[in-house]
Structure 1
Amino acid sequence: MRRLTGLTLALLLLTLSACALFPNRDPVNINVVGIEPLQSQDLEVRFAVKLRVQNPNETAIDYNGVALDLEVNGRPLASGVSDQQGSIPRFSETVLMIPVSVSAFSVLRQTLGLSQTQSLDNLPYVLRGKLAGGLFGTMRFVDRGTLDLPNAAATW
């Protein structure tokens, strides 16, 4: 029993010291800077979401994939993935384009969720995603804001 306690304590100390080896990183700043239409299929609409990713750290951020989920007005609307890979140098920024798909059912769900008096101006959105970076390098992010879609009904 005493040996087990000593082994557990040693493993705990080893784990804590291993965490100290990983550099402290400030969170990346990610903002939606644009949405462009892409060629769509039968019952879906596709867009390219442009994200500005800013690295406020002293070391580069390497990534090898991006995933996004977009909620509008509290309901899921679009999702997308990309196998892009690259590096964002220290104290630098880049713009990533991620294709996302919006199914006709998501559009219908959004339309039914809007009250008859609610316009398409200033709809709240939440964008959740991750920059994949291996076992300890994956960075999750959230961006919140409002969308102004005055002509969206004509598009769908």
Structure 2
Amino acid sequence: MQRLLMALLALAIAACSGLPFNAVAPKVSVADVTIKSLGLMEQRLDVGLRISNPNDFDLTIVALEFELEVNGHPFASGLSHKATLVPAVASALLRVDTYMQSKDLIRQFKRLSQGALAAGVPYRVKGRFKTDKSSGWMPFDHGGVYGGDEKPQDKAI
């Protein structure tokens, strides 16, 4: 009876995780950033997020929210409710309208030097998403270095 109870508890915990048992959470990273509009108080960006699905089943991202940090400081944030299919063992690009406050942009310009640009600029994207296979939100956190004299190197955080 105790074994049955433990097995049921393990299944209940796996069901609450949001993905099927033995599934691996998708990886989210920044693919590109494009300026859409510049304003006095706020800038609008188009951020391409690369979502990689290592599982042997398709996932549909139904909602996503994130914050982008550059050089260790807030840069932009965005959210999407656009359903995006991420095929099994593949990746998809999710385009997200993103907003940045002018004060954050000015702060970044003050911190960046020519030497820092040559070395590459560290970034971090963190947030959460919902899939068609999950009842709750699942977090993500990924960092890397953009630009520099060498090839860009991504590292998982």
TM-score range, shorter chain: 0.7 to 0.9
Q: Point out the structure with the larger strand share.
A: 2
Q: 1:7 matched to which residue of 2?
A: none
Tell me the number of residue pairs that the alignment of Structure 1 and Structure 2 aligns.
140
Q: Aligned partners of 1:15 and 1:76: how far apart in 2?
A: 40
Identity %: 25
Equivalent residues in 2 for 1:4-15, closer than 5 Å = 14-15=8-9
**Aligned-residue offset at 1:117:** 7.1
TM-score normalised to structure 1 length: 0.73
Q: How does 1:1-156 map to 2 (within 5 A)?
A: 14-20=8-14, 22-112=20-110, 114=111, 118-121=115-118, 122-133=120-131, 134-136=134-136, 138-148=137-147
- Listed one character per residue, the Cα deviations across residues 57-80 of structure 1 (whole Å, up to 9, x for unaligned) are 022212211111011111111101
SS in 1 for 2:11: helix
- 8 A contact 1:66–1:98 mirrored in 2: no
- Larger-gyration structure (1/2): 1
Other structure's SS at 2:128 match: strand
* Alignment CA distance shift 1:40-1:50 (3 Å): same
Give the Cα separation in 2 of the matches to 1:77 and 1:39.
15
Q: Unaligned 5+ residue runs, structure 1?
A: 1-9, 150-156
**In structure 2, the residue corresponding to 1:120 is in which secondary structure?**
helix
TM-score (norm 2): 0.72
RMSD: 2.9
CA apart distance, 1:142: 2.0
Supply the AA of the counterpart residue of 1:42: L
Q: What is the aligned partner in structure 1 of residue 151 from structure 2?
A: none
- Equivalent position amino acid for 1:123 in 2: V
The gaps in structure 2 that reach 5 residues or longer are: 149-157
